[in-house]
Structure 1
Amino acid sequence: MTSFLRSDRSTPVAIWLAIVAALVLAMVVVGGATRLTDSGLSITEWKPVTGALPPMSDAHWNAEFAKYREIPQYQQVNRGMSLDEFKTIYWWEWAHRFLGRLVGLVYALPFVYFLARREIPKRLILRCVGLLALGGLQGAIGWWMVASGLADRVSVAPERLMVHLGLAFILFATLIWTALDAWRGEARQPLPSPWSALALGLMGLIFIQILLGALVAGNDAGLVYNDWPLMNGTLFPRDYAGDGLWGTLAHSQGAVQLHHRLGGYVLTIAVIWMAISARRTNYVPPPAKRLIMATTHATLLQALLGIATLMLAVPLWLGMLHQLMAAVVLGLATAFAWRIRRV
């Protein structure tokens, strides 16, 4: 009978989920590089199975290049691009899609195995099913994003990029939280404290800032207003207003960059205040205090990286590092929120 009893914790399940989280992180970084190199539209079809293999002959490469030459990005931006130049952007997008397929396999196959062996804690099964569904949805949203740039635009729609990146970070944070739950078991009832809400609120602020950053990336807004703390010598961008409210919020380069700056200021102030407050209260245990301090240090470093990325007009390596640090900040804040709820 004991072989049919499911434990409340499982180290192998925790390790598996942590590995998947690391792969999602890698996919986020490669996705950032794909955006920065304008590579995301180089593969013009969505073939979840047969598309796993790259072109294997000159004929196949020429066929892929011919498809790319039919879309507005080539005709209006990259006309005259050579086949070798096309291969460079193609490989970025192929690597991004390959990582997506790899994430799916590394999640789905062990999930079936652990479920069959009854190693997944019962309270985590539905959550794991939900993660599997979200992973599949992410693939569909990725194609929905790419499709927006194949007909009437030379790049993907910024709001669709925001949804795609936002879901990736939701998956990343949920995987970390679930891995910690599998590692430590079910939490005791936390003591009444405002810190649980504060920690979740901090995660929300970080997530909103990530979404604002996605709009900056989607509008190439890091290539304008490259001074700081002013914006071309003024406090307020001269081209703030777009075509209506949505045009301003989602498509105005000046507006999305200003919003991302303001979000960074709010987040930095909030995390510093939380770190100082955490040091002064007994409601926050020492492990959680160390986590909020690590989150604060990572946030400050991220702010400096953001300023440098802007002032250097978004070099590839710095843009990738900035996106990586966003995930680190969210991951640390997730661990802090998880730990607070186990007081």
Structure 2
Amino acid sequence: MSDYLSLKRYWITLTAICVLLMVLIGGYTRLTNSGLSITEWKPVTGTFPPFSEENWETELEKYKASPEYNKINYGISMPEFKRIYLIEYFHRLFGRITGFVLLVPALFFMYKKQFNSNETKFLITTLALGMLQALVGWIMVASGLIDNPHVSHYKLALHLSMATILFSYIIWSGMQFYYKKVQINFTNLNHLIVVSAILLLFTQIIWGAFVAGLDAGMIYNTFPLMNESFFPSETLSYTPKLVNFTENHGWVQFTHRILGYVVYMYLFSLYFKILKNNKNFRTNGKIIMILLNLQLILGILTVVYQVPLVMALLHQLNALILLGSVIVLLHKICDLQHYTLGVVHD
């Protein structure tokens, strides 16, 4: 039994890593403007790339019918097309690999009769979220293949949100393979404090997607001020006014900055007022603080240097790792309900 438990731990950890890598590859695909290079969605037959020159010519002809070719990449050479095509192809392929990593070990555990009802529920839910994520991804891509070679930043945010939910669910549910299964008690103040941190991080990730989708990181490349001002120079010209914070480039970046300050101060306070002096959660707190400060540094460097590829990808990746570390903290707090945050000391 213990051997199977160890295997399940490897399985769930590898699945979570695959989802993280999927997000990283997705970010690379977007930043290299490769996402609209494959104009069809073939979940089964699309597993293999073009092999012959004739197949490549066929794919290029399909791409030539797209608005991106006619409005942005007109006259693209075959080597250039192959580059963006293979980036998007690998993004889709890795989605299939992730599904394989999730499903095949689960079938093995079922065959060995080492899969209980909770684990079956986890598998079904994860598969459903994964398939929904793939569908949202295709809807997002398809929207850029009609007239305007541009993907709505709302759809991009939805796509990233789905990936974040999937990753969060795997982390939370996967903790049962390391510790006992727990439940969040929404009448427990300790639980609510950490749940609030998770919601703040999730909201910040969504606004990060807005910034990315609008290329809002390419403006106001100064810190801490936005071109010598705390506020962006754009007026709140959109109606209704709240739309400015999701569509007006300057105000979207401003909102992302402010949310970053809020998240930082919230987690900073959580650590120094609660976690630092509590022996049960001190290690979790130190990990969160390291990731939090790294995220702040990566965010500043990303905007100051106008979204360099590696920096932007690390910023996105670290955001999910930070979120995962707070989810682990929440699970531990739920597992130690007889402890009170900030009271148990050495």
Aligned Cα root-mean-square deviation (Å) = 2.3
- How big is the shift at 1:68? 1.7
Q: Which residue of 1 aligns with 2:255?
A: 259
- How big is the shift at 1:222? 0.9
Q: Secondary structure of 1:78's partner?
A: coil
The whole-number CA distance in structure 2 between the counterparts of 1:145 and 1:37 is 16
- In structure 2, what residue type is equivalent to 1:44? T
2:202 equivalent to 1:207: yes
The whole-number CA distance in structure 1 between the counterparts of 2:235 and 2:146 is 27
Comparing 240-249 with 210-219, which one deviates more in the overlay?
240-249
The whole-number CA distance in structure 1 between the counterparts of 2:318 and 2:307 is 15
- How big is the shift at 1:118? 3.3
| Superposition pairs of residues 86-97 of structure 1, within 5 angstroms | 86-97=81-92
| Superposition pairs of residues 73-222 of structure 1, within 5 angstroms | 73-187=68-182, 193-222=188-217
Contact 2:191/2:330, CA 8 A, preserved across alignment: yes
Gaps of 5+ in 1: 1-5
- In structure 1, what residue type is equivalent to 2:208? G
- In structure 1, what residue type is equivalent to 2:286? M
Q: TM-score, normalised by structure 1?
A: 0.91
Gaps of 5+ in 2: 337-346
- How big is the shift at 1:187? 4.2
Match of 1:314 among 277, 301, 307: 307
Q: 1:22 to 1:264 in 2, by over 3 A?
A: same
The whole-number CA distance in structure 2 between the counterparts of 1:257 and 1:22 is 29
Q: 1:234 to 1:74 in 2, by over 3 A?
A: farther
- In structure 1, what residue type is equivalent to 2:260? G
- How big is the shift at 1:188? 9.3
- In structure 2, what residue type is equivalent to 1:289? R
Q: Which residue of 1 aligns with 2:326?
A: 333
Q: Secondary structure of 1:11's partner?
A: helix
Contact 2:276/2:282, CA 8 A, preserved across alignment: no
The whole-number CA distance in structure 1 between the counterparts of 2:255 and 2:38 is 32
Q: Which residue of 2 aligns with 1:30?
A: 25
The whole-number CA distance in structure 1 between the counterparts of 2:65 and 2:335 is 56
- In structure 2, what residue type is equivalent to 1:325? N
The whole-number CA distance in structure 2 between the counterparts of 1:68 and 1:311 is 35
- How big is the shift at 1:292? 2.0
Q: 1:304 to 1:79 in 2, by over 3 A?
A: same
Deviations 1:288-323 (A, max 9, x none): 221122112211110110110111111111111111
Deviations 1:259-299 (A, max 9, x none): 11111000000000000122466xx5x34221122112211
- How big is the shift at 1:186? 3.0
Q: 1:242 to 1:146 in 2, by over 3 A?
A: farther
Q: Which residue of 1 aligns with 2:340?
A: none
- In structure 2, what residue type is equivalent to 1:145? M
- In structure 2, what residue type is equivalent to 1:336? L
Q: Which residue of 2 aligns with 1:3?
A: none
Match of 1:233 among 225, 228, 233: 228
Percent identity (aligned): 37
- In structure 2, what residue type is equivalent to 1:308? L
Q: Secondary structure of 1:10's partner?
A: helix
